[in-house]
Amino acid sequence: MHPIFASADELSVPILFVTAAAFDKATESIDDRERMFLHAAGYEPKPGRYLAMPAADGKLAGVLFGLENADEPVKDLFRPGQLSTLLPPGTYRFANAPHDARLAALAFALGTYRFTRYRKAEVRNVRLVVPEGVDGEDLSRILEGVTLARDLINTPSNDMGPAELEDAARALAKQHGATVEVTSGDALAKQFPLVAAVGAGSARSARLIDIAWGKDGDPKITLVGKGVCFDTGGLDIKNDAGMLNMKKDMAGGATALALAHMIMARKLKVRLRVIIPAVENSISGTSFRPRDIYTSRKGISVEIGNTDAEGRLVLADALALADEDKPVLVVDFATLTGAARVALGPEVPPFFTDDDALADEVARCAVSENDPLWRMPLWRPYEPMLDSKIADTNNVSSGGQGGAITAALFLRKFVAAKSWLHLDIFAWTPAAKPGRPEGAELQSARALYALLAARYSA
């Protein structure tokens, strides 16, 4: 179990969750001295309001923390994650039930995350007793996956290029007894022409990482993650603001690895495959150019309408490879379009699928895991927007509208599986929220893990 989680027999300080509607009932358990202190402090049970109550000997007797009323339609189930940034060092327990004890405990743990590779950060030595009825081992698997993704995405590109992403994949594979195959150099250009084209301008060699785990007879699940370790935009160069945060353009690959960790640590009964095209989209005399044409692994010729639409190119070859194995489910993760952010903002990634039953499962798991997702349409009447006069397709659409949809439609050309799920993630928290520090964030993987665990648990 993760070190942040404590056992029930350890000495711990109670955390009492209170709401405005049930404040009097919730505080019936505290003694008269504590009640007097509560009133003297002028405490109001508003969401996120915190109060530490002293014991007679000066130690910490307990903590009050405000939540939304139970009947409020919108509640932040991760709000208890705020506690891990407020509490003094020590071990704590939930004295009563928050709105969702499992998500509250997970948020508490996630709120302690700090990226410390380059500078020392304050270590908040707080621990939490796993609430009764909550699976601490499973929470630990999820926490480890989130931490892995956050660390990879937060790492700047000078230390997180294609080779370093491969190292991370190999380390994870070794941890779980998985196998790894890596294709690079001349073999990459021959087998994955679009991946090679995107990486051609960089001195850091592109590669395709292919991880396999599980028994051959189990259902085949394939995860594909965009691994663009930095994106200048290529010859269609981004402006300074657009390029500033492009270290996170490999977040799709990090997400796939994080979800793979959860799956393998849980030992789900699946034959898992993880495919990550790892490249850097740089500018040089060997960069691919607008109006170039490449024949993809699937045999579809692609005209380059914009070199800054490189993610869909590397995913196209990776999805073609995934589809050849005829898995029962293909999932791809990618920081793909600004249009998705315009449509839904940074917190709600869109997902695309033709499988209505799968979409319903994803939507339910997104709610139950507090891992927001929203379905958008694979609107086929937009497909002519991707037409090319001299190739089978263009990599960008004509006109500037519906960009997230047309990007998904481009990818759809390269995968035939009915159960295909495309997630256009942001992978970043612009301003800190409970359980979600500012910076890299794992989006969509917790929802997908819940879906796969429900289907394939031993």
Give the pLDDT score at 48: 96
- The number of beta carbons lying within 10 Å of the beta carbon of residue 360 is 11
Provide the 3-class DSSP secondary structure of residue 129.
strand
Looking at the DSSP bridge assignments, the partners of residue 421 are: 331
Catalytic residues: 238, 312
Polymer length of the chain? 458
Give the pLDDT score at 123: 75
With 0-12 CB in 10 A as exposed, 13-18 as middle and 19+ as buried, what is 354?
A: middle
Give the pLDDT score at 61: 92
Residues of the chain with pLDDT under 70: none
**Which residues, including other chains, have CB under 8 Å from residue 377's CB and lie 6 or more apart?**
352, 405
DSSP state of 131: P
Give the pLDDT score at 127: 97
Q: Nearest 5°: CA angle at 347, between 15 and 428?
A: 90
Looking at the DSSP bridge assignments, the partners of residue 347 are: none
**Which residues, including other chains, have CB under 8 Å from residue 264's CB and lie 6 or more apart?**
176, 178, 213, 272
pTM of the model as a whole: 0.97
Give the pLDDT score at 327: 97
Q: Nearest 5°: CA angle at 97, between 94 and 103?
A: 85
CATH of domain 140-456: 3.40.630.10
Domain ranges of the chain: 5-134, 140-456
Half-sphere exposure of 167 (CA within 13 A, CB side): 7
Give the pLDDT score at 248: 98
Query: What does 316-371 look like in DSSP terms, one character per residue?
Result: HHHHHHHHHT--SEEEEEE---HHHHHHHTTT--EEE-S-HHHHHHHHHHHHHTT-
Measured CA to CA, the distance from residue 417 to residue 319 in angstroms comes to 10
CATH of domain 5-134: 3.40.220.10
Query: What does 86-107 look like in DSSP terms, one character per residue?
Result: TSPSEEEEESS--S-HHHHHHH
Give the pLDDT score at 246: 98
Cβ–Cβ < 8 Å for 164, 205: no
Question: Which amino acid would we find at residue 250?
Answer: M
